[in-house]
Each structure stands twice: as structure tokens, then as C-alpha cells.
A and B are shown apart, each in its own frame.
Chain A
């Protein structure tokens, strides 16, 4: 069954949304959208690094995404003007990555697959890595769920209850880096943040509790993934952007329903 590239692609999309649903909810609640962008854009730099050192691409992106996420989290804890800082970091990481990658002629021709994803080329190994990564993120978030939620509502409340908000923030940073590494192949570096934010924002319209929102975001993410795959096959469009187009369509529908 896994021999069929379409089935592998579908399973990869569903696997990814297991992680992006709950993590994306936290990104929305904590207003970390730009943070997600900076981390995701750094992944291109990770690709270059991996090629230069002959390491697996996934390891390269994971390392660089983690370094970027930790840097940004550190700066924000010190109270930098985050809007500007993140803007500088996100776009510089992308630009440096693109320049670095251009030194590798083989990738040069294949650059768009890193920018926009290449879900139809997902191998069995890729698929296994996507699911492993997504389940790891899901487990991490489930383990820290109560503490993460308390710290998100109010860092002071968390402190007073003996929790460590800074440690919970680090958990999210780690999860974000994992998701970036996993999602690069599927939606590409440019659209990872969209995959985090749009399904979660869509789920908000229907949810009354944080858990319901995270669960619905998984569902909407999976639907977008499968729908985008279909759109891509039908119209021969790039798959990553097609997935986000479907997600955006669902968001528009949900917003319209809310207005009505």
C-alpha cells in the first residue's frame, strides 16, 4: 500500500497535522506567528549546512531551526523590540540560506522543492520521519499540556503555582524546531508558518475549550493537506502552496459562518 506515492503523500500530510494542530494553537495563543516564520526560514540555511557537511537534510534543518528558535526566544526574554528583531532574523536567515544553497549546483535546480515542499516525492523513510517527528511533538505537548496552558494564560499564575514559564517556553521552541524539520519536505520553508497558524485560527471559530481547538486544528490541517494534494493533482499546481490555498479557503468559510 505504501508503494503508492499518493498514499504516502496523504499519510505525510495527515501525520504533519498531528503536530501542527496543537503547536499551531499555541503559536496563535501566544502570538508567535513571526517567531514561527523566523524558525522556518532558517531551515533553508540548514539545507545548505547539511549539503556542505554531508549530513542528512533533516538533521541540518533541525539544528539550524533549533539554533534560530533558541536565539529568538533568548532575545525576546531580554525584551528586545520583537517585531523588528524577528523581521531582521527571519528574512536574513532566508536570504543567507538561499545564497548558501546556490553554491551547490545540484540543489540550485531543485530549490523550489525546499521553498514550497515536495510532498509527492515523499519516500518511505521520509514518511517514517514525518510520523516520528509529529508523534514526538504531540507527546511533548501532551506531557506538558497543563503547565503550557497555565503559562500561556498568565506567567504569574504559573510562577505562583510553582511552574517555570521559561522552561515551558523552551518546550515550545523545541517543538517548533522539530515541526520545521518535519514540515520542510511537505509544505516547504516559506509556508510552514501558514500550516501552523491557518488551521488553528480556523478552529478557533468552533471551539469552546483549548483542547477542542487543538483537536479541530488537527482535523482541519489534515483536511487541508488532503484537499491540497487533490488540487495539486487535478490542476498540476505546486503541492505546498495548494495545501495552504485549501487551508485559507476553509478559514474564509469559517469566518463567513461566524459573521452570519
Chain B
């Protein structure tokens, strides 16, 4: 029984096919991460699942009456728009003061009702967005790079919070990310995306898949992969190594890499 699924979904912007033949499902209570480099279409996939972006082919199935809690990448609030945290939590559905206070306490923002949204730090704003999403008692939380504005400790704390929320409410979590280390630990399942689904599975399976290594092997965001790479191949230092970072090079290299392990 799945909450949300995509069947052979294609998304096009004009003539360009951004997403090709995507099929996925999210079951109740599981944490699924869509992982991919910049420009891989991962935000577009989330937006398609939400119904913001129309699909050109295939279809998106939601359980009837599915309650979705959406946390966007960030919220840019125009300085001309005054709005307190408390008022923001009542959009678009008005909630009671007690419910608002409880949701804020849940995300570690107790007593911050009177703050102006525009003056919050990136981390605080993400917490408020999460609180607002939780007020709808979601069956699934959908988060689009929720930690892109946070430093590393803030990021780790935010993912811990997501896990707590899942444990306490039983909500499924579908999130998008381009960073690896924390996500890997926090997810039940990882879908590796680059226009199409390259590979998917548990974090352990995915992180050793050649397709995954091809994508993240030497990419600038692949901190963990880079670390592993250098760790596994300390003899590389002896060779003059061209860090040209073009895709072909990465691909070949990752194949070698996988081969070494075989």
C-alpha cells in the first residue's frame, strides 16, 4: 500500500526532457531521499509529485485524501510584507494558539510566536516551515533541500528532527538533497537521480553502486565520495592526476573504481 507513486513519469520544459521515465513509490512511514547533482531534476520531480509542475507522460497516483506537508527549499519573504511566526502558521488554514504553540515546541522554536518571519535565521525559518507543515497532520512530509541554507551542525540537527518527527507521527518523508553524508544515515531508501533514476536502494547499496559513484565520484558536492576515493586509492597521489571533472572522465574513473572492488 503506497501513499504516493509515480508511474513512468516524463516532464518536459519546452523541447527539453528534464525527467525521463520515473517510477517510484513511497510507503507509509518510510524516509526516502532523492539524491542527485545540481540540474539533475530532483526539485522538478518533487514539484511534479506535488502537482506544481505538469507531467508530459505517465501519471502520479496519490492515496485518496492524502495529507501532504510541504517544506520548500527556502522562503523569500519580501521585506514589505510584515508577518509574525504565529500568523504564518495560520496559512492557509487557521490554527488555534495551542496547536501553534505545540508545533513550535515540537521543532524547538517554543515561544517564538511574535518574531517576524523576515528576521529569522535560515535554520529557524526551516523549523517554522516544518512546524507549519506538521500542523496539517501530514501522512507524508515532502522536503526540498531543507538544509541548503544551514551550516553542518544545523543540518545534522535538522535531520535528527525529521527522524524524531517520523518516529512520533509515523509520517513518511520524501526529501530531496544534493549532500550525501547526513542524508545517507537518515534515509531508509535512496533514489539516485540524474534525469532518470540511476539506481535506488538502501543507502549502503546505493553508495556502492557504480552509477552512484559515476555521479558523485569526484563532483564538488561529493564530500563523502571524495573522501572515500582518496582513502581507498592513496596511490593516486603518486600519479599526476587530472582533475578535469568532466563527465566522461568521472564515468570511466568510477567504472575502474567499481572494478577494483569486484
Contact = CB atoms under 8 A, between A and B. Distances in A.
Q: Is B a genuine binding partner of A?
A: yes
Nearest to B94: A146
A2 interface: no
A208 B142 CA distance: 30
A211 B90 CA distance: 13
Nearest to B91: A150
A163 interface: yes
A210 B81 contact: yes
B84 A153 contact: no
A149 B91 contact: yes
Interface residues of B, number: 26
A29 B70 CA distance: 23
Interface SS of B by simple majority: loop
B252 to A, nearest CB: 39
Contacts of A156: 47, 50, 52, 70, 72
B72 A157 contact: yes
Contacts of B78: 29-31
Contacts of B116: 208
B105 interface: no
Nearest to B74: A154
B70 A157 contact: yes
Contacts of B47: 156
Contacts of A30: 78
B99 interface: no
B142 to A, nearest CB: 7
B157 interface: no
A211 B86 CA distance: 13
Interface string B54-90: 0000000000000010101001011011111001101
A153 B80 contact: no
Contacts of A51: none
B153 interface: no
Given A156-B70, A160-B142, A210 B77 contact: no
A204 interface: yes
Nearest to B80: A28
Given A147-B92, A150-B91, A153-B91, A160 B52 contact: yes
B92 A163 contact: yes
A146 B91 contact: yes
A159 interface: yes
Nearest to A30: B78
A232 interface: no
A233 B150 CA distance: 59
B240 interface: no
Nearest to B92: A150
A30 B80 CA distance: 9
Contact of A208 (B77, B80, B84): B84
A92 interface: no
Interface of A: 28-31, 146-147, 149-150, 152-154, 156-161, 163, 201, 204, 207-213
30 contacts: A28-B80, A31-B78, A146-B90, A146-B92, A146-B93, A146-B94, A149-B91, A149-B92, A150-B91, A153-B81, A154-B72, A154-B75, A156-B47, A156-B50, A157-B70, A158-B92, A160-B51, A160-B68, A160-B70, A161-B70, A161-B93, A201-B80, A207-B82, A208-B114, A208-B116, A209-B83, A210-B83, A212-B82, A213-B81, A213-B82
* 7 closest A-B pairs by CB: A160-B70, A150-B92, A159-B52, A29-B81, A150-B91, A207-B82, A146-B92
Interface of B: 47, 50-52, 68, 70, 72, 75, 77-78, 80-84, 87-88, 90-94, 114, 116, 136, 142
